[in-house]
Amino acid sequence: MREKILAVMEKNSRIDIKDLAVLLGESEIAVANEIADMEKEHVICGYHTLINWDNTSDEKVVALIEVKVTPQRGMGFDKIAERIYQYSEVNAVYLMSGAYDFTVFIEGKTMRQVALFVSEKLSTLESVLSTATHFVLKKYKDHGTILVQEVQDERMLITP
């Protein structure tokens, strides 16, 4: 039942427990208890709303920053990741394989604000060797949800 609950809630975290129970063929109490258990175990870590900021008047700049570091003796990458994710600008930090060690997602109001974060906060950390910043220009799909309107084919149909 756990995997089925997670599969449904990953697509729609606002689903009513009653509707979820009916969908899964389980009792409401069993579903509610399972969800509570998963929250306690940090299987479910939070509930978020996906917002298409391009459709609002708010200006936001999203950047993906690749970070190369020197791991700290006895602590590996975890302590460095903790230092990075403590910054309020940081939305996500991932340990990666490949040329860079971390991928860091941040948000700012302007490109300059993001650049200042990288140059004044991130790059100055003792373990950071180098960074590469990539700005998100447009989001087409996020968390499995298509954010753009599908393009309609407006060509005229010509029949012989």
pLDDT in tens, 79-128: 999 999 999 999 999 999 999 999 999 999 999 999 999 999 999 998 99
pLDDT tens by residue, 18-76: 999 999 999 999 999 999 999 999 999 988 888 777 788 888 999 999 999 998 788 78
pTM summary value:
0.78
Cα distance between residue 104 and residue 20, in whole Å: 34
Quote the pLDDT of residue 153: 66
Cα-only R_g, the chain: 21
Cα distance between residue 92 and residue 103, in whole Å: 8
